[in-house]
Amino acid sequence: MRFAVPVFPGSNCDEDCAKAVREILDRPVDLVWYKNGNLDPYDAILLPGGFSYGDYLRTGALARFSPVMDAVAEAADRGKLVLGICNGFQVLLEAGLLPGAMRVNDHLKFRCSIQTLRVENNRLPFTGLYEEGEEIRLPIAHGEGNYYCDDGTLKGLEERGQIAFRYAGENPNGSVTGIAGITNREGNVLGLMPHPERAIYGWMGTDDGARLFRSMLRYWEGMHGAA
């Protein structure tokens, strides 16, 4: 299983994502510059956190028009795994690969802390190694994580099991029903505000993020072999 991490001007979690793949999964991973429109060699795409294009206009709004995003849309369409973390989630929303939009945190502050999340659906390629309803701890670091969608969209997300994670207890940003991460209808595209790549060893404060990457590997190589 081969991983790509697209790098936009302003990405800053790209190396952390690559490191998580190398150290936790021991699989090949390449950083791919945003002007590269070819992701054919890869099975999974990790859109990293950061501040692509300085967050100008709206978070994720300008990154969406870079050549690599056409390739990400194609990869998603072909059933490859696409994971958007923090700014990567914002980019996926702006690109229309996930429904809804991101607003400024309801308290208007940038929030950097470890949050408790509840795994709402463990039948996804990204969550298979968690228990359903399990509470895990992952760090967040964002000023715009206040996820919004209208009531009709929310109902659809709930009915189809597209809500992967919710904040358990305190909601750190005001997101609709405490949503922390959602998938597309097919379940092969996940966006989440917390940073699993910053939670892969105990000394980081929590290693609960490691299982998200391991879940992806188990799902993919279970279906396609270890090539």
Partner 1 sequence: MYKATITIRLKTSVLDPQGNAVKGSLHSLGYGEVRDVRIGKTMEVWLDTPDAGEAEGRVEAMCRELLANPVIEEYEFRLEKGA
**Contact residue for partner 1 among 67, 174, 201, 218 (CB under 8 A):** 174
- Report the nearest approach of partner 1 to the CB of residue 146 (Å): 7
Is residue 223 within the footprint of partner 1 (CB under 8 A)? Answer: no
Is residue 73 within the footprint of partner 1 (CB under 8 A)? Answer: no
User: Phi and psi (nearest 5°) for 96?
Assistant: 80, 10
**Does residue 195 have an active-site annotation?**
yes
Is residue 137 within the footprint of partner 1 (CB under 8 A)? Answer: no
- Report the nearest approach of partner 1 to the CB of residue 162 (Å): 16
Is residue 65 within the footprint of partner 1 (CB under 8 A)? Answer: yes
What sign has the CA pseudo-torsion 84, 89, 94, 100? positive
Tell me whether residue 100 or residue 139 sits nearer to partner 1 (CB atom): 100
Tell me whether residue 31 or residue 104 sits nearer to partner 1 (CB atom): 104
Q: Residue 11 pairs with which residues in a beta bridge?
A: 50
What is the Cβ-side half-sphere exposure of residue 96, based on CA atoms within 13 angstroms? 5
3-state helix, strand, coil in the chain (%, to 5): 30, 25, 40
**Does residue 86 have an active-site annotation?**
yes
Which of 13, 17, 86, 149 does the annotation list as catalytic? 86
Is residue 35 within the footprint of partner 1 (CB under 8 A)? Answer: no
Is residue 124 within the footprint of partner 1 (CB under 8 A)? Answer: no
E strands present in 42-110? 44-47, 81-85, 101-103
Is residue 110 within the footprint of partner 1 (CB under 8 A)? Answer: no
Q: Which stretch binds partner 1 (CB under 8 A): 48-56, 105-113, 185-193, 204-212?
A: 105-113
Burial class (CB in 10 A: 0-12, 13-18, 19+), 108: exposed
**Cα–Cα distance between 6 and 186 in angstroms, integer?**
22
**Cα–Cα distance between 74 and 185 in angstroms, integer?**
16
- State the catalytic residues: 86, 195, 197
Catalog residues that contact partner 1 under the rule CB under 8 A: 57-58, 61, 65, 93-94, 99-101, 103-108, 146, 148-150, 174
